């Protein structure tokens, strides 16, 4: 068994999302005049571990249910491929996923001890989303899998990091964390397009399966529009600083992905749109965070 393969099994190229989420949450807290370097760094470690855990457990469940045998792998979807290739054993992948989860638990316990029990519901919901996402939540339908992704790797981490650092509730901070949920919902949604046939094997009820690709494209498009309208409205209503409008400059990536979601005929035609989707998700949140930092320096 190769330690390199174990590391790559976590899909480290996608783990960049987690530090960006923490950065955005920290930037919002700093804008509201709160900062704690140790909590910021611990939050990055904890969220990266949980992200690695859900990636790894997803691969484990996909292999056990036979989804991996039908998956059309792309650079942005379809899992790591190590289990179908026999490069890792299912037991090793399962233990890796659980180890990453268990290593994150003491960080959560520490934050609860330092900040208060009000963090427990957020951490408990996050744990449920990590452990049950692939095996149960994706089979519920009605957008449950996509909503779980948007919450677990979007809104909850951003607002959770704000709460950890600022140690107070803030309606504007909650508002500012919502676009992250829309973006990560869509990150998963577009990556589900190539996996519809494979996901049926695992009895999943994803939006592309339930609505077809065209219906899913309309949902995707609506969330792209809503993301930018949300940011624009937040700035105009002074819920968010004007500098947060930096996030809107990623609109061309969103439009490219929207167009391809309706027009693609073959999988290779969708891959550039998946890349644009990833850029939109990462850069929108990163630039929003930068905007909050710049606005905070001017206060």
Q: What's the average model confidence in pLDDT over 133-150?
A: 92
CA Rg value for the chain: 19
For 55-101, what is each residue's pLDDT tens digit? Answer: 999 999 988 888 877 777 788 877 788 888 888 999 999 999 999 99
d(CA 259, CA 63): 32
Sign of the four-CA dihedral 296, 123, 119, 105: negative
User: Half-sphere exposure of 69 toward its Cβ, with a 13 Å CA cutoff?
Assistant: 6
Instruction: For residue 73, report the phi and psi dihedrals to the nearest 5 degrees.
Output: -75, 140
pLDDT at 71: 77
pLDDT at 259: 96
pLDDT at 66: 83
**pLDDT over threshold 80, residue 297:** yes
For 25-41, what is each residue's pLDDT tens digit? Answer: 999 999 999 999 999 99
pLDDT at 292: 98
pLDDT at 166: 97
* Cβ atoms 221, 169 nearer than 8 A: no
* Cβ atoms 216, 189 nearer than 8 A: yes
* Cβ atoms 22, 289 nearer than 8 A: no
Portion of the chain with pLDDT greater than 70, in percent = 100
Place of tokens 């500012």: 176
CA angle 111, 115, 118 (to 5 degrees): 95
Mean pLDDT of the chain: 94
Residue 165's pLDDT band (cuts 50, 70, 90): very high
Q: What's the structural domain count of the chain? A: 1
**pLDDT over threshold 70, residue 155:** yes
For residue 82, what is the domain's CATH number? 1.10.600
Instruction: For residue 77, report the phi and psi dihedrals to the nearest 5 degrees.
Output: -155, 165
Q: What's the average model confidence in pLDDT over 123-133?
A: 95
Q: Largest Cα–Cα distance of the chain, in whole Å?
A: 56
SS3 136: coil
135 vs 259, residue with greater confidence: 259
pLDDT at 281: 98
Tell if the pTM clears 0.85, that is, is over it. Answer: yes
Range of the domain at 125: 3-297
Contacts of 131 (CB under 8 A, 6+ apart): 57, 101
pLDDT at 150: 97
d(CA 190, CA 74): 12
For 143, left (φ over 0), alpha (ψ -120 to 50), or beta?
left
pLDDT at 268: 87
């Amino acid at each position: 068994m190769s330690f390199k393969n174990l590391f790559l099994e976590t899909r480290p190229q996608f783990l960049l999302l987690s530090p960006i989420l923490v950065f955005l949450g920290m930037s919002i807290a700093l804008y509201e005049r709160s900062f704690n370097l140790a909590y910021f760094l611990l939050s990055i470690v904890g969220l990266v571990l949980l992200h690695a855990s859900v990636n790894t457990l997803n691969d484990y469940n996909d292999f056990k249910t036979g989804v991996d045998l039908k998956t059309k792998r792309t650079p942005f979807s379809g899992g790591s491929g190590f289990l179908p290739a026999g490069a890792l054993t299912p037991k090793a992948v399962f233990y890796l996923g659980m180890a990453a989860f268990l290593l994150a638990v003491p960080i959560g316990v520490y934050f609860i001890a330092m900040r208060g029990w009000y963090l427990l519901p957020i951490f408990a919901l996050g744990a449920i989303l990590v452990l049950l996402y692939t095996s149960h939540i994706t089979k519920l339908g009605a957008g449950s899998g996509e909503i779980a992704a948007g919450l677990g790797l979007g809104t909850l981490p951003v607002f959770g990091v704000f709460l950890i650092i600022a140690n107070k509730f803030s309606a504007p901070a909650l508002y500012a964390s919502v676009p992250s949920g829309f973006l990560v919902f869509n990150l998963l949604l577009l990556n589900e397009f190539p996996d519809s046939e494979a996901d049926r094997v695992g009895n999943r009820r994803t939006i592309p399966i339930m609505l077809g690709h065209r219906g899913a494209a309309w949902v995707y498009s609506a969330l792209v529009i809503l993301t930018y309208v949300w940011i624009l409205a937040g700035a105009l209503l002074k819920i968010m600083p004007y500098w947060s409008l930096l996030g809107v400059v990623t609109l061309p990536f969103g439009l490219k992905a929207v167009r391809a979601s309706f027009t693609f005929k073959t999988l290779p035609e969708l891959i550039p749109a998946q890349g644009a989707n990833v850029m939109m998700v990462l850069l929108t949140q990163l630039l929003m965070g930068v905007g909050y930092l710049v606005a905070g320096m001017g206060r």
